[in-house]
Amino acid sequence: MTQCPDNLTSPARRRWLVPVLALPVNILVFIPAIILWLTRYQWKTNHPVLLALGIFLLCLGLGLAAWTMHLFHHVGKGTAAPWDPPQRLVVAGPYRHMRNPMLTSVFIMQAAEALLLNSWAISGLLAVFFLGNMLYFPFVEEKSLERRFGDAYLEYKRNVPRWLPRLIPWTQM
């Protein structure tokens, strides 16, 4: 796979941009917008500490998302999209601490969104999305990764927790 070129219309750029825009934008923009519209959301000023925490979490989530997508692209030679997954197992950066830092970044950004918008409905979306992924990952995603990457993934899975990060990064033996 080639580097993302400067030309936004190139196939390589589209391959990278479509999953970045389609997947996170749906769960972080379109679905919350529909929920807010359906609940007749009225923005209320939030406590300054909660706003600051929300901004911190948003920056943290965006940074982690960018880092993990960069690793999927450059190390894994793929994208976050199920139709174009990484060709190589990514065990670098935050993936040395936890198996799902990309999804964790989405959880963090959803929490930030709930705080910044002062919305219990968005908190509910986070809870549903979190619970759905608690079921999806062990029963579907991890089985697929075991088939694709075999023993390398099984060793990784034995040494790196799914959601709660290891304090000391795992190094492959």
pLDDT grade for 15, boundaries at 50, 70 and 90:
low
| pLDDT tens readout for residues 125-154 | 999 999 999 999 999 999 999 999 999 999
Q: Output the pLDDT for position 90.
A: 94
Q: What pTM did the predictor assign?
A: 0.86
Task: Give domain limits for the chain.
Answer: 11-159
DSSP string, the chain: -----S-TTSHHHHHHHHHHHHHHHIIIIIHHHHHHHHTT----PPPHHHHHHHHHHHHHHHHHHHHHHHHHHHTSSS-SSTTS--SS---SGGGGT-S-HHHHHHHHHHHHHHHHHT-HHHHHHHHHHHHHHHHHIIIIIHHHHHHHHHHHHHHHHHHS-SSSPPSSPP---
| pLDDT tens readout for residues 83-108 | 788 899 999 999 999 999 999 999 99
